[in-house]
Amino acid sequence: MVDDLVRRLARFERSYFPKYREEYRRLVKEGQHPRTLFIGCSDSRIVPNVLTGTGPGDLFVVRNVGNLVPPYDPAGTDPGLGAAVEFAVLNLHVRDVVICGHSHCGAIRALYEEEPQALRDMPQLARWLDHARDAVLPVTVSEEALRRTEQRSVVLQLERLMGYPAVAAGVANGAVFLHGWHYLIEEGRILVLDIESGKFVATDVVMGAAKHGGDAAAFQLQ
């Protein structure tokens, strides 16, 4: 496995980096200026730069199990996500903050398991998943319920983000916009949260609204 990883590193050095050498050097010289903070799941099937068609320097990425946002707590024992949010908003001055959930999320499914042996063996993971528990529906688990819960969790995490002073201030003054996405892996589609209706809609609906002079604010929290 290590040999395979080293071969991949060598391929990056030989094949990929030369194509973007000048871009990387510019980013070193001028510093990074990403426009978007992308908060996504650690799931290996989620590749932020592929989803957004972006390259080096375009995204500031934070990933964790379940794309979760803990409640704001300046004295908390795990300030990792909060530190990234503050740095992105206050130092990098990102304009857009995305919470990207996805279908078939193991974190969401685990919330419906009555006595998951795996979680008993992973107490830190069990505690982490509490940040999504309010999204659980009082129904028998089904694929439809899981998709709805994944979307409900995205909304929940957006609400939590608004508890972070840097984000709240940025949204209030129009410098920061929040976006909720739900990536359907098996379909290759991303549904976008319509803030006004509370529903997740297809990207062609968003594009159509913009094309016909619709209010773009409907799809971003501002």
Residue numbers annotated as active site: 41, 43, 45, 102, 105
Q: Is beta strand 59-64 parallel, antiparallel or unpaired with respect to 177-184?
A: unpaired
Cα(194)–Cα(203) distance, rounded to whole angstroms? Answer: 11
Q: What angle do CA 183, 186, 132 make, to 5 degrees?
A: 40
- Looking at residue 27, its amino acid is L
Q: What is the DSSP string of 85-154?
A: HHIIIIIS--SEEEEEEETT-HHHHHTT-SS-HHHHH-HHHHHHHGGGGGG--SS---HHHHHHHHHHHH
Cα(172)–Cα(151) distance, rounded to whole angstroms? Answer: 24
- Which whole-number Å values give the CA distances from 39 to 47, 82, 84, 85, in the listed order? 12, 11, 10, 9
Q: Could you tell me if 100 and 48 are in contact, meaning their C-beta atoms sit under 8 angstroms apart?
A: yes
How many CA atoms lie less than 13 Å away from 127 in the CB half-sphere? 5
Sheet containing 177-184: give its strands across: 59-64, 36-41, 96-102, 177-184, 189-194, 199-202
